[in-house]
């Protein structure tokens, strides 16, 4: 099962787990807004690629006219419920074509890691860069880098958010430049009952240099890399020549 089928099923569980883990989307989005405003103070339109359930868009829409895009219809539908009136496109970050450009394009929370080859990395970055207006900004939050991989992990997280109860046992390991995250979910509500499912995510480890090369090859310039970023995985910010 590919990542999209996984995400089709787990949107509600995904959001509940973020609340349980204390992920601060507002703080992350504030950093993204500051990075965009620093390069392009007048930026108005923003596209969030691989927007998932729209948690960043919910924060970013206070500052920009936002749209989202995701390959998973399940995630996109949760985003549409969260953000009435906001357009959420379905598309693959490697090949989408929306017929317009945006002052800022973002791709956050390591979604880029799902492209598993260097060719696909270049293709995805080029496709996203092609949707940035001349003079606009591209913001990319990478997956961790090969030297940042801290070793295999095994943990359990569980809790209840409103009436959604969720638990997740997660195992991760690395083979070469591919990291595998295996997740065993139990999710339920009092109205709908409880279900269990299993996910296996594969994400590729690229170096800072590989990301920078993909950004340069896509015609972007003034490439800055902040090693901390939003979630300690780093952040790239680059400009499209005016
Ligand atoms: C870790 S989630 C991040 C979601 C969101 N950006 C956030 O911060 O919560 C990864 C997302 O990437 C999407 N995705 C995976 N491969 C994709 C692709 N090739 N094109 C577009 N979206 C993709 C998944 O459907 C999922 O919603």
> What does the pLDDT read at residue 14?
85
Q: How confident is the model at residue 178 (pLDDT cuts 50, 70, 90)?
A: very high
Longest dimension (CA), the chain: 54
Which residue from 170, 240, 233, 229 is spatially nearest to 35, judged by alpha carbons?
Answer: 229
Ligand 1 pocket test: pick from 6, 52, 55 the residue with the most ligand atoms within 8 Å of its Cβ: 52
Task: Taking residues 67-95, report their average pLDDT.
Answer: 95
> What does the pLDDT read at residue 153?
96
CB of 25 sitting under 6 A from ligand 1? no
Q: How confident is the model at residue 8 (pLDDT cuts 50, 70, 90)?
A: low
E-only strand ranges, the chain: 45-49, 65-70, 88-90, 102-107, 132-140, 153-161, 164-175, 178-189, 193-204, 221-226, 235-239
Instruction: Express the helix, strand and coil content of the chain in percent, nearest 5 each.
Output: 35, 35, 30
> What does the pLDDT read at residue 1?
38
> What does the pLDDT read at residue 226?
97
Query: What pLDDT digit, counting tens, does each position of 188-227 carry?
Result: 888 888 889 888 999 999 999 999 999 999 999 999 999 9
CB of 51 sitting under 6 A from ligand 1? yes
Q: How confident is the model at residue 2 (pLDDT cuts 50, 70, 90)?
A: very low
DSSP state letters, 115-146: --SHHHHHHHHHHHHHTEEEEEEEEE-PPPPG
Kindly give the distance from the C-alpha atom of residue 64 to the centroid of ligand 1, in angstroms, as a whole number.
21
Kindly give the distance from the C-alpha atom of residue 158 to the centroid of ligand 1, in angstroms, as a whole number.
22
Kindly give the distance from the C-alpha atom of residue 69 to the centroid of ligand 1, in angstroms, as a whole number.
9
Distance CA 69, CA 231 (A): 21
> What number of helices (H) and strands (E) belong to the chain?
6, 11
CB of 109 sitting under 6 A from ligand 1? yes
């Amino acid at each position: 099962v590919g990542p999209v089928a996984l995400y089709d099923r787990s949107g509600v569980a995904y959001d509940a787990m973020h609340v349980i883990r204390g992920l601060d989307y507002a703080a992350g989005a504030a950093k993204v807004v500051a990075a965009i405003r620093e390069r392009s103070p007048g930026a108005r339109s923003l596209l969030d690629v691989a927007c998932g359930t729209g948690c960043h868009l919910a924060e970013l829409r206070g500052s920009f006219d936002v749209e989202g895009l995701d390959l998973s219809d399940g995630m996109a539908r949760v985003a549409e419920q969260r953000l009435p009136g906001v357009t959420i496109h379905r598309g693959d970050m490697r090949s989408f074509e929306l017929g317009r450009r945006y002052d800022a394009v973002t791709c956050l929370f390591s979604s880029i890691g799902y492209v598993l080859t260097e060719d696909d990395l270049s293709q995805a970055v080029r496709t996203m860069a092609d949707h940035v207006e001349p003079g606009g900004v591209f913001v990319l939050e990478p997956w961790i880098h090969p030297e940042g991989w801290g070793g295999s992990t095994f943990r359990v997280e569980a809790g209840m958010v409103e009436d959604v109860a969720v638990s997740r046992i997660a195992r991760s390991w690395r083979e070469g430049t591919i990291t595998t995250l295996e997740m065993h979910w139990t999710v339920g509500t009092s109205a709908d009952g409880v279900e269990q499912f299993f996910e296996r995510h594969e994400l590729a480890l690229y170096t800072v240099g590989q990301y920078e090369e993909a950004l340069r090859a896509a015609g972007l310039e003034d490439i800055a890399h902040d090693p901390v970023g939003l979630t300690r995985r780093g952040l790239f910010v680059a400009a499209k020549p005016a």
